[in-house]
Amino acid sequence: MKIGVLILNFGEPENPTLDEVIPFLERIFARNSSLESDKGSGRARKLAEARAPGLIEEYKQIGGSPLARQARKQVRMVEGILRRRGLDLQCYSGMQFTEPSVATVVAEAQAAGVEQLVALPVYPLCGRSTTIAALEDVRGAMSELSWEVPLREITGWHRHPAYQRLRADTILDYVKREGVDLHASDTTLVFSAHGTPLKYVDKGPRYVTYVEEVCRMVARELGISDYALGYQNHTNRDIPWTAPDIESVIREVDAARVIVDAVSFMHEQSETLGELDGELREIAEEAGLEFHRIPIPHDDAAFAALLADLVEDVLRPEPVMGELGLRRCLCRATPATFCLNAAD
């Protein structure tokens, strides 16, 4: 049986131009239009046009977004591992808001004669506008094509021991290389997570719970009990977001230096290279803090192996994974959706 593996990402424009950035932003705002049900038509376009100039400047400052390039490399790495394990498959990189879109890669898989699909969003922490929305896009694309093949979906996987070890090892490798004492009394480890509207937390997956949980797990791997957590919120809309925001956390840190780990991100992108390395660094240095940011282990062989393990396990007749066990997802209750969060 020929298998197609859809490795799904958010997407970012590869070129900092209005022609690419405005449609990208408009798709995001339109997809999340339910956050402002009383704003009327055309709101997404207006928001996109207002946000685009600032984002274009950010892309220029970081030399363009590397997300798509890194995603393509991840796909090649995962595909190579799985083929070496004897699986007849092809991996596809699909984006929620840029090309190649989820619909595009679903159509490519159909044209290639794929007989079974696996959909794996590269978001360790299950969220409504990321993981769940990406999987809905897969189902929608298959429906548009009237294509019916077996589909297995994977949602939250931050509890995978290999993920926690990967984050911890990346931090340890960095501080050793930079000569920073992670356990010094005047050093604070700060986790930064992607923010989300509270409406999605109230009505969707337990995203905040997952964020807090993974921070505890990684800190435990490092032997640290005192750390901070902040959210990178995008307050284009006047609605409640996750708290505390990362800027407030940094301003209130009582330390000589901060080590920031973007714990929910698996690519370098504008939110790490621009918001953290640029804006947050400036805030930290204005507060007299020495600033360090842990690089994202997007091309680490351990990460590719982790994703390959998830794919291989979800293809079993009844998916299992060690002591944790993949279980049928509770927040996306279909018989074909599995995660590591359903145990409790």
Please identify which residue in the block is written with the tokens 């591992």: 81
Q: Are 121 and 131 in contact (CB under 8 A)?
A: yes
Going from N- to C-terminal start, the domains of the chain cover 161-293
Which residues sit opposite 191 in a β-bridge?
A: 229, 261
- For the entire predicted model, the pTM comes to 0.93
Pairing of strands 151-154, 116-121: parallel
Element (H, E) at 22: helix 18-31
Multiple choice CATH, 161-293, 3.40.50.1400, 3.40.1210.10, 3.40.710.10, 2.30.140.10: 3.40.50.1400
- Give the tens place of pLDDT for each residue, 248-270: 999 999 999 999 999 999 999 99
Residue 24 has which token pair?
């990208």
What does the longest C-alpha to C-alpha distance in the chain come to?
Answer: 60
- Give the tens place of pLDDT for each residue, 52-106: 999 999 999 999 999 999 999 999 999 999 999 999 999 999 999 999 999 999 9
Closest C-alpha among 115, 131, 135 to residue 123:
131
Q: How confident is the model at residue 39 (pLDDT cuts 50, 70, 90)?
A: low
Closest C-alpha among 161, 130, 172 to residue 266:
130
